[in-house]
Structure 1
């Protein structure tokens, strides 16, 4: 099963109205995860949602968020194989917090992946993109497309997934 790494912020609503400790999916994101699962792809979700405050409280909220995410993906017919994250706050200078690539490099080591072959779907700007580039992942971007990025940019997770599935079909 070929893995796809998906940044949490590509799946969940990150608009200004969304509370950071709540989880509401972006439209079509759960269905896109289901399509990846049906295509025999391992879906690995990454994120660094601990922003401030007490890390123990943040970890408890994060566990609830991950449980809701996994259940929602399952209800849509998909499977999230792993949710990987940095539990440390932003002021800890942890090597696995974006823009540093430590979390992605750790995933590669644990999963025995060649990162240059692994698609990483992330937002078209911000520290997660920088971490993906530094780690050598094959970045696919979700956003407005108003960047100078050399990577393909998509308006939705579903369109990025379609791109990946079309690639696989064309390679056969």
Structure 2
């Protein structure tokens, strides 16, 4: 099963990590289910600590991940792993975006060639920088960066359709 890495920001509607305020973007959970039906593993990454926070509240983070997993299951999908940097912004951790360590660690643990792995993220911010540095194949939600050759999509569903069409055309 080929993996797809999705940044949590591409799934959620709000910037909060509070589980009670977290809502998926319309169509995002259904897009995850479509990936699963196409025999794709879904790995979600995210940085749960906002600048200024000392460290994540692991209880709050667990509730958020549980809510995300349950919502995906309710939509007929499955998230194979939720991976994140547990350190605060002041630690200079190599796995905290914009550094690529989290994506590099995923590649090592999953034995992946990152240049073959699609990474869906927003068209701005530290997660995109991390993706570029790690050498993943970035698909961006927003206008995209035509200078870097990264395709842009209006939604996670549109990016997933692009990936599925690409697979169909390769057969």
TM > 0.5 fold call: yes
8 Å Cα contact 2:17-2:61 kept in structure 1: no
Per the TM alignment, residue 149 of structure 1 is displaced from its structure 2 partner at its CA by 4.2
Runs of at least 5 residues in structure 1 that lack an aligned partner in the other structure = none
Question: 2:114 matched to 1:131?
Answer: no
In the alignment, the residues of structure 2 paired with residue 44 and residue 69 of structure 1 have an alpha-carbon distance, to the nearest angstrom, of: 12
Per the TM alignment, residue 48 of structure 1 is displaced from its structure 2 partner at its CA by 0.5
RMSD (CA atoms): 1.5
8 Å Cα contact 2:96-2:102 kept in structure 1: yes
Residue 55 of structure 1 aligns to a residue whose secondary structure is coil
Question: 2:1 matched to 1:4?
Answer: no
Structure 2 partner of 1:92:
91
User: Compared with structure 1, are the counterparts of its residues 121 and 61 closer, same or farther at alpha carbon in structure 2 (3 Å cutoff)?
Assistant: same
Structure 1 partner of 2:154:
155
Farther off after superposition, 152-161 or 44-53 = 44-53
Aligned residues: 168
Question: 2:28 matched to 1:19?
Answer: no
TM-score, normalised with respect to structure 1: 0.93
Structure 2 partner of 1:101:
100
8 Å Cα contact 1:50-1:59 kept in structure 2: no
8 Å Cα contact 1:118-1:138 kept in structure 2: yes
Correspondences of 1:33-44 after superposition (within 5 Å): 33-44=32-43
8 Å Cα contact 1:12-1:26 kept in structure 2: yes
Per the TM alignment, residue 62 of structure 1 is displaced from its structure 2 partner at its CA by 0.9
8 Å Cα contact 2:46-2:83 kept in structure 1: yes
8 Å Cα contact 1:124-1:147 kept in structure 2: no
Per the TM alignment, residue 19 of structure 1 is displaced from its structure 2 partner at its CA by 3.4
Structure 1 partner of 2:115:
116
Per the TM alignment, residue 20 of structure 1 is displaced from its structure 2 partner at its CA by 3.6
In the alignment, the residues of structure 2 paired with residue 117 and residue 147 of structure 1 have an alpha-carbon distance, to the nearest angstrom, of: 19
Runs of at least 5 residues in structure 2 that lack an aligned partner in the other structure = none
Residue 48 of structure 2 aligns to a residue whose secondary structure is coil
TM-score, normalised with respect to structure 2: 0.93
